[in-house]
Each structure stands twice: as C-alpha cells, then as structure tokens.
Structure 1
C-alpha cells in the first residue's frame, strides 16, 4: 500500500523528517525528532492524519504558536494605521500590550489549545503582573521614539484599572477572532473572554463659578509675570482652556487641529465676532465631524493666530497646527502647565477627590449645554459621542438645582459663555 507521505533524512542528520501535501495548503515538511525508522513511520502517519483532519475542518494543516499569530495580528494593526483605519495611538499601544502581556503569558503555546480556563488564569496573572508577578522586578520599560529606542522608569506598580482591563480584554478578543479568520482555530472553539464593565462615574468637570475662578486666575497669572516666555506659555494655556470649554473638543482633537480645520477663519478675521461664520472640523476616534463653536471661543483663535505667525515667521497655512511652540512645532501637551494653574486655584480635584485634566473642559461644555436646554441628540452630534453616553455620564447634571433653575426660565444672554451655539 502506497503511503500518502514520504520519510527522508536531511544531509548530515540522522533524524527522520516527513513530507506530504494537503490540498489547498501545499507541501508540509516536519521533523519527526527520532532516528528510529519504525518510530518515524508511526509518527509520520499520525502527523499526516492530524493535518488532514484539521484541513477537512477548515483549519490550517499545521498547529500555529500563539506568538506567531500575535506578530501577524500586530502587522495587521500596523497596516490599518497606515491606511487610516485605526488611530495612531492604537498603533503605538496595542503592539506593546500584545508582546508584554499576551505573548508574555501564552508564548509558544498552540493557539488552538487555549481554553476558557487558560484565559481566566491569564486575567489573574495580568492583574498581579506589576505587584507580585513578572513586572515586580522590572525597573524600566523600553519603547521607540523617532526611530530610537529609549526607556522610561516604572512609576506605578498596581492592579490595572477596570478601564484598562476592559480595553486589553477587547484587544485579546480581537486577536483570537483574527486567529479564527485565518483558520488557526475554530470559531466554535474560541475561548470566552469576559469584558469587565467599568461602573459609570460622573466625569470631573467644573461648576460655572469654578470655571470663572479658573479663568480669572489664569488671566491674573499672565499679567503678573515679566518673563516673555512664561507669559506666552500661560496665554496659550488660557486660549486652550477657552477653546476646549466652548467647543467641547477632546484633547486629542485639539492636538491635531490645523488652521485648515478652522473653516471660514481667514475670511472673517476683519469682522466682529458676532458676524463671523466659523466652523470647526476635528478628527478623533477614527471619525471626523464639523460643528459651530460658541462665540466665547473665537477671541482665542485670534491670539493663537498671532502666536503661530510669530513662531513661523509668516502667516499660517492650512497644514500648520493651531497650537504651536516657540519653534513652530505642534504643541504636544498642556498637562504640566494646566496642573500648575489648577493647583493655584485649588481646583486640581473635584468634590470627590477625582483629579481634573484637560478632558474636564469637554465635560464642562457638555454639562453647561445640558443646563442651557440644548437637545441631547444635537449635543451628542456636536460633540461626537452618543446620546446614550451623555445620559449615562451626565445624568447627575439634570438632578442639580442649577439645572432646574435654568430649565425653569433663567435666560442666557447672548454674550454669556453658556449660550447655545449659533445657527445650530
């Protein structure tokens, strides 16, 4: 009887190998790891029938290691980032998470051998990684920046937040689904991954009085210093706060904002603020939207135009960033200067002790628009979120006395920074 496989030995080796072909998957070669021909024959027959069974059931003929699949998935993520199908932040964070945690635990195990029990064990291992697990002895984390490998010290050794656990669970599930689509595991055999749901917590924002105190202190700090560089930095921070608070932009959207995204700005520079017809176009979370800012944000664009013109030595073009450094580079972050200002106002945390960030201005905008009676669906469209998210995270706004007072007929003057957007 003719076998469907062939035994052979490579030159210079006494160990036996097997080769055979699987329809649609080409020729497969595999070491049998034995020098005994009879043993090799038995192992070869087993390897052939296992490969045939896998192929008949829609899988790859050979078992693939988890680490191999992980690298293929990372390559897919990088291609999606280049095509603009994923945001750059995901392209930077996901590979590091996959290699450190997923591959660090599952390593060279067959990807189709991972069970529900294995995933549960991994989740516990991941929670303890930086406290009692492998990370407890790691002092620095290497990463790439501008083509160079640098490192940062490990400053936090704690259990990952619920939000991070959720994000990593979603990423692991995406990886295993990718493996199933590639034929490495059967869809029905995929382990179940429970995604931890973080409780809905009201965002740290500002009350109208707190925001008033913040802006007054900001302006005072600008005028009190004689250092030109410090005055410029504080003025840019003030402009950042005003635009964020009266547009509802996310920090990532602010960072990526170019002058070409401030639609109608050049045409209206000589007009009064009330006569300008300006719209903002932003990109974030893989989407883009265009909306009308509140009038209170407009003076800050004039200030930033002047700063950009001085830094660049010419009038800004559409591709130039709105927020620039003195060298004309895109401003990366206002985290440090904002923390200093919040500390100076005793507003670094809200009444619950939750630390405020640049995201708090977006929450201030949404809260104040709700209190001004703006329709939730219009507000959701304007801020690039869903009405469900607004209901979930801003339900407490509707319960406060200030909201009931506004809804009871308190008028909002056109010049008020809390008025609804024009032409909405």
Structure 2
C-alpha cells in the first residue's frame, strides 16, 4: 500500500505512488484539487517542499493571483450535455458533434485546468496565437475555423455565467480586426452556365455507357431545375412530387412551379422561373413519379464534377470550388442582374437580405445605378457686372438729374 502522510491539520497530503520513488503532495483550495510532485525521495525534504508549496499557493489565492471556482473542463462537460439536449431538433447533430470535437481537441487541452474567472480577453488572444503556431501539418487554421472555436468558448463561458460561476463574460473580440475582404460564392455567369447545361444535355443524349443514360438525364434536369428555383441542395434532395404544383401565375400569366420546401429553415415556399416546369415534367414522366417519391433520390456528384472538370470550370477565376450550391448562387445572381427586388429574392430563397447583400449583390454590376452615380452638378452661369448709364438713370421718373 502506498505511503501517505497528512500535514497542516489534514489540509495538506504527502504521499508516494506505487512504482515511483518521488513523493507527491496535494491540497484542496478554491474548489478544486491541486497536485504537484516534490521531486524528492527523502520524506523529510518532501514535507518541507510540500509546506512551502502549500503556503505559497494559499498566498496566491489571498492576493487574487489564482482564481477560485469551477474549471473550464468541468463547465465544458456540463455545457455540451445541455447543448445536445436543449438543441435537439433545432440544431443539426453534425453541428453539435463539431462543438464536442472543438472542445475535446483544442479548447479543453488549453483552458481545461483554468478556473472560469481566469479566462480573460488576453488569455483568449494567447489561445489564438497558440492555434496559429500549432496548426495541423504546420498550416494555421482558417479564419472561420478559429472563429467557430471562439464561439464555442464564449458559449461555455455564458453557461458558467448563467449558473453564477462567473459574473460576466469577457470581451472575446479579436484585436487588430480589419474589415473582411469582400468575397463572393462560386456561381456561373451567363456564358459559363450556357456551356455547362449544353454539356449536361449532350451527356444526357450520348452517355458514356448505356446504363448511365437515366443518371445523365436526371443530372441535366437537376441543373435546369436548380438554376430556375434557387433551392438549396439539401432542400432539393428532400423534395417529393407532392410538394410541387404546376400553376399559372396570376401576376405574370406564366406557367411556373409552386414548391413547398422543407430544409434547414423549416417549411417554406418557393415560386420558380418558367424554365423549371419542363425539367420537372420530364422527371415525373421518366421516373414514373408517385406523390411520395423523391424528385432527386440521389445527386450525381461524380458526374457533376466530371463534366465541370472536362470544361475546366470546377473553379472560378478566384479559386472558389463550384459545387451543387453554385446553382443556387447562380439563380440569385441572375435574378439580381435582371433587376428583381432583393427583398422578394430573399423571401423566395428563404434567406435574409443581409446575406444576399454580403455574398451576392456586392459583385453584381447591375446593382449599381450609373444614373445615380454619374451625377454632374450644373455650373452656375458667369454673371457680368452691369454697366451703369448715367443718362438713362437721369431719365427715370422720380430721380433728379445729375448736375451738369
């Protein structure tokens, strides 16, 4: 059995672990256990070290150099349990799993032993520096990755504040922050979109293998359907034939689709462009679609990427990868270029005006009104000083003639 001794009235413990020649010491202060190795093999020297260590640690607590309270590791474990239960059905399980991974892999190893009150804005900045210097394979994490980790840190601290473990959450805003670079999401210009759908149409007519004909035809209709509706890829995969109705729009007299959409924003509605009607009808006829069948049981991702690579269009000129989401972005950009109302686009796409202005409107030249920009102020006409005529002034009634 390992040797054990008590000092300071039982507040300090000196003990030796099995298979170890050094004495250890421990105490309970500020709501948590503190342990350290004395690095001494002699019991007398180990006791002297333990007493000095205990008194120094107690003095730090009195001076406020060491904060008491719940540790970050304890709060993080409680938070993730609550977060998983409370957000069930509201947050994606993948998002919750990512939060757990951020805590276990990065945040707890750095902040775990710290009391919540010890986590300050300066310590958060030290964490940023640590992550930038110790990235995966020598590469610093992306800006969005680091932002999500700070979001997770802030949520743990808010959990501690709700339970009264800290009085307030420190300001975790990164210092030296500048305005973010204006970026846009990958989309297809009119010329690029024409090349792409012509390539998918050609592949549908002449597939590389006969058994791939249906998949190629479905992909072609998928591309046309998405660019004319603006649906998210996950919304399109959930779509059933009973969710789509072919109607004549009262305002435009065009035949369009009215779609009941189920996605990450819950249930919403979408009115398509007329170009989505024929792809939908072809899909229903080709696949003998029943009301509860999916329009797109599977997204032909490999074929989609293969055609993009053949056209050398997988990346746009800024290096952004084109994906199925690019078809939604193309729909929004085309609508903006045609002068559609941005608020109506946001409603039809189940997003916000702010998101459209940030990621789409900033790079669409048609959103700039040249008539309002190239305004020229008219220059005032130069005025010549009037010449006085003494004789005419004298002839005016009510005036006395000047002396001659």
TM-score band (shorter)?
0.5 to 0.7
CA contact (8 A) 2:258 2:271 kept: yes
Is residue 2:317 matched to residue 1:351?
yes
| Compared CA separation, residues 86 and 303, structure 1 to 2 (3 A) | same
Q: Which residue of 2 aligns with 1:327?
A: none
Out of 189-198 and 343-352, give the one that drifted further: 189-198
Is residue 2:80 matched to residue 1:80?
no
* Structure 1 residue corresponding to 2:124, chosen from 105, 119, 122: 119
Q: Which residue of 2 aligns with 1:230?
A: 212
Q: Which residue of 1 aligns with 2:396?
A: none
What TM-score results when the alignment is normalised by the length of structure 1?
A: 0.64
Q: Which residue of 2 aligns with 1:177?
A: 158
| Compared CA separation, residues 401 and 177, structure 1 to 2 (3 A) | closer
CA contact (8 A) 2:232 2:325 kept: yes
| Compared CA separation, residues 348 and 70, structure 1 to 2 (3 A) | same
Q: Which residue of 1 aligns with 2:43?
A: none
Q: Which residue of 1 aligns with 2:228?
A: 246
Distance 1:402 1:231 in 2: 44
Distance 1:70 1:184 in 2: 13
- Cα distance, 1:228 vs structure 2: 4.2
- Cα distance, 1:309 vs structure 2: 5.3
Could you give the per-residue CA deviations for residues 290-337 of structure 1, whole angstroms, max 9, x where no partner exists?
Answer: 121222223333444467658xxxx352xx54321xxxxxx3x54433
- Cα distance, 1:117 vs structure 2: 1.8
Map 1:52-63 → 2, pairs under 5 A: 63=69
Map 1:267-346 → 2, pairs under 5 A: 278-284=258-264, 286-305=265-284, 315-317=290-292, 320-324=293-297, 331=298, 334-346=300-312
| Compared CA separation, residues 361 and 203, structure 1 to 2 (3 A) | same
Q: Which residue of 1 aligns with 2:172?
A: 192
What TM-score results when the alignment is normalised by the length of structure 2?
A: 0.67
Residue ranges of structure 2 left out of the alignment (5+ in a row) = 13-29, 36-46, 371-404
Counterpart secondary structure, 1:249: coil
- Cα distance, 1:376 vs structure 2: 1.1
| Compared CA separation, residues 303 and 213, structure 1 to 2 (3 A) | same
Residue ranges of structure 1 left out of the alignment (5+ in a row) = 1-11, 19-27, 54-60, 137-156, 325-330, 405-424
Counterpart secondary structure, 2:317: coil
Q: Which residue of 1 aligns with 2:402?
A: none
- Cα distance, 1:239 vs structure 2: 2.7
Distance 2:31 2:187 in 1: 62
| Compared CA separation, residues 228 and 95, structure 1 to 2 (3 A) | farther
CA contact (8 A) 1:348 1:356 kept: yes
| Compared CA separation, residues 31 and 205, structure 1 to 2 (3 A) | closer
Distance 1:401 1:184 in 2: 50
Name which structure has the greater RCO, CA cutoff 8 Å, separation 6+: 1
| Compared CA separation, residues 101 and 17, structure 1 to 2 (3 A) | same
CA contact (8 A) 1:205 1:363 kept: yes
Q: Which residue of 1 aligns with 2:105?
A: 100
Q: Which residue of 1 aligns with 2:391?
A: none
Q: Which residue of 2 aligns with 1:209?
A: 191
Q: Which residue of 2 aligns with 1:374?
A: 340
Q: Which one has a bigger Cα radius of gyration?
A: 2
Distance 2:32 2:316 in 1: 63
Counterpart secondary structure, 1:278: strand
Q: How many residues align?
A: 322
Counterpart secondary structure, 1:247: coil
Counterpart secondary structure, 1:175: helix
Counterpart secondary structure, 1:264: strand
CA contact (8 A) 1:371 1:403 kept: no
Q: Which residue of 2 aligns with 1:221?
A: 203
Could you give the per-residue CA deviations for residues 103-158 of structure 1, whole angstroms, max 9, x where no partner exists?
Answer: 1321232222112221111112222333xxxx44xxxxxxxxxxxxxxxxxxxx63
